[in-house]
Amino acid sequence: MPEGDTIRRLADNLTAKFGGSTVVRSTFRHPRLATVDLGGTELLEADAFGKHLFLRFSNGYSIHVHLRMGGSVYGRIAPEISAARRRFELRLDGGSITGVDIPVLEFLRTSRERNITARLGTDVCGAYDGDAATKRFVAAADLPVTQAMLDQRFVAGFGNIYAVETPFIVGVNPYTPVNRLSDAGALLA
């Protein structure tokens, strides 16, 4: 599963490469999205919050993607991958974006992205607020540190690599309950 920093880099790269490009054709291979047509809209930007990717368009709508364990988004055409696995394809005047094996794919008003992000903790790769992150993290109480780090409601963006390795790096047993940490903020920092 990609970590939050991977999704942040993906969003930044997609914005740099395609921001301001016009959609020439869009294809969605998803029952709820099969009739969505983004042709003629402009891709304003891609953004990330934790492990969630948002592609925002000039018509006030966004594509929301979560890759979970096996999804990928490519900033190119991917003809070597079977069409059945290509859940969405955006042909833009500046290139193509292809989503492969995407388990979570939604089309929503950009103004409603907050319904997704509101349930998440502070984004470690976004506008990070260390005090708010620590406050939410200590609310995990008796959960083991690693389990609390993986729970995106406390802090968004940590995945297995960080949740397993970070405690060791700072000298904390990953099975230590969060409420037993002497300085949860230092662990998150």
CA atoms within 13 A on the CB side of 40: 3
- Measured CA to CA, the distance from residue 12 to residue 101 in angstroms comes to 21
- Measured CA to CA, the distance from residue 128 to residue 93 in angstroms comes to 34
Sequential DSSP letters for 34-50? TT---TT-BEEEEEEET
List the catalytic residue out of 3, 45, 89, 106.
3
Residues pairing with 66 in the sheet? 52, 104
User: 170-174: long-range contacts (C-beta < 8 A, 24 or more apart)?
Assistant: 172/145, 173/145, 174/144, 174/145, 174/146
List the catalytic residue out of 51, 113, 144, 167.
51
Check if 3 is active-site: yes
Structure tokens at 16: 């740099």
- Measured CA to CA, the distance from residue 170 to residue 186 in angstroms comes to 8
Neighbours of 75 (CB within 10 A): 18
Catalytically active residues, by annotation: 2-3, 51
